[in-house]
Amino acid sequence: MLTLGIETSCDETAVAIYDSGKGIVGESVFSQIDMHAEYGGVVPELASRDHCLKIISVLEEALGKGKIEDIDQIAYTSGPGLLGALLVGESFAHGLAAGLGVPTIPVHHLEAHLMAPALDFDDINFPFISLLVSGGHSLIIDVKGLGEYSILGESQDDAVGEAFDKVGKLLKLPYPGGPHIERIAKEGNPKKFNYPRPMINKNNLDLSFSGLKTAVLYSIRDLDNLDEHIPDIAASFQRAAIDVLVSKIKKSMLQTSRDTLILAGGVAANGLLRKEMSNLENEMGIKVRYPAMKHCTDNAAMIAYLGSLKTPNLSNQGQSCARPRWPLNEV
Ligand code: KG4
Ligand code: ZN
């Protein structure tokens, strides 16, 4: 069974093919980052237009020497995400599916991130705790089975990736700030600025990052020579954000007695976060897994894979089900 996956929820145009017997047999991602960088963030209308321009060449690259006629079903991201961008992927999926005479499967973007580590490891078994950290979401989820998700905690304001990106902007780093903060932090002293660790002492598993970002803003306002402090600010901010995540994850593992932790989403590409979470393997005797870098950030392999686990609903083929807002527990 060959499932074609299509991802266009934000600023990556991606297509992949998942073979139920062999795994991923083709994948391609085109990132629009360079186009949005000059605006300091994703411009929704530009994103939709660029998905239209690139989707066919991305499909051709993912297919390689494979034949489109061999595809059995098409999974696509139907939410959450930017509405215009989602509609490009959905219309393309519907058109292609009608032409090929195959069914479509709408897929939840965050659910796909959650299951992405199964692309890289064959020892991922339910139940597990997932730390899903991206530009739009920061969630701690108890994953009991496919489609059985209990949200244990989530950010009450900015997502952690959003905080990295906003701090990146304050530090005049290119968009998106996350990877640049990680790079520059390597040259800085994480103890130089004593930033707050929001909600770290609260007993619940909720998160908050906007106060941390504001603390960075205030510390910058007091400086005459920002440039020479950038590595220390980046390192101190990154340390504070990751301290909060580590503390909340420890609490969640203790509260639920789960023995597996899976990291997912773009921020799971962060080396310090990976190292700190890996340390918990020894400290807490748990198993920690994170996807390959290319499966942390937005990609279509995770969409094709999740689609392959679902059954197409043949009663609503061709109908639009794009949902810019779509809570994970409504999957
Ligand atoms: O999952 P993703 O590709 O897109 C969303 O669905 O949001 O995540 C993108 C987010 C951005 O905020 C980006 O700055 C962050 O992931 N990110 C990182 C790193 N690489 C990507 N944050 C911290 N450190 C990184 N190395
Ligand atoms: Zn994502």
Give the ligand whose atoms come closest to the C-alpha of residue 266. Answer: 1
Tell me how crowded residue 57 is: count the other CB atoms within 10 A of its CB: 13
Half-sphere exposure of 266 (CA within 13 A, CB side): 23
Q: What is the pLDDT along the chain (331 residues), one digit of tens a residue?
A: 999 999 999 999 999 999 999 999 999 999 999 999 989 889 999 999 999 999 999 999 999 999 999 999 999 999 999 999 999 999 999 999 999 999 999 999 999 999 999 999 998 999 999 999 999 999 999 999 999 999 999 999 999 999 999 999 999 999 899 999 999 999 999 999 999 999 999 999 999 999 999 999 999 998 989 999 999 999 999 999 999 999 999 999 999 999 999 999 999 999 999 999 999 999 999 999 988 999 999 999 999 999 999 999 999 999 999 999 999 989 9
Task: For the sheet with 128-133, list strands across it.
Answer: 148-154, 138-145, 128-133, 260-264, 287-289
CA gap 245, 239 in Å, rounded: 10
Give the count of beta carbons closer than 10 Å to the beta carbon of residue 26.
21
Report d(CA 329, CA 331) in Å as an integer: 6
Query: In the prediction, which pLDDT does 222 show?
Result: 82
The Å distance, Cα 258 to ligand 2 centre, comes to 25
Alpha-carbon gap, residue 252 to 274, rounded angstroms: 17
Count CB neighbours of 38 within 10 A: 9
Whole-angstrom Cα distance, residue 178 to residue 168? 7
* Cα distance between the two ends of the chain: 23
Q: Which residues contact 225 (CB under 8 A, 6 or more apart)?
A: none
- As a whole number of angstroms, the distance between CA 117 and CA 125 comes to 11
CA distance 154 to 156: 6
Residues in contact with ligand 1 by the CB-under-6-Å rule are: 10, 134-136, 161, 164-165, 176-179, 182, 265-267, 269-270, 297-298
Distance 177 CA to ligand 2 centre (A): 15
pLDDT, position 127: 97
Of all protein residues, the one whose alpha carbon is nearest to atom 20 of ligand 1 is 179
**Residue 294 CA to ligand 1 centre (angstroms):** 11
Mutation choice for ligand 1 from 42, 134, 183, CB with most ligand atoms inside 8 A: 134
CA angle 328, 198, 149 (to 5 degrees): 15
Q: What is the pLDDT of residue 40?
A: 86
Could you tell me the distance, in angstroms and rounded to a whole number, from the CA of residue 259 to the centre of ligand 2? 25
Determine which residue's CA is closest to atom 7 belonging to ligand 1: 135
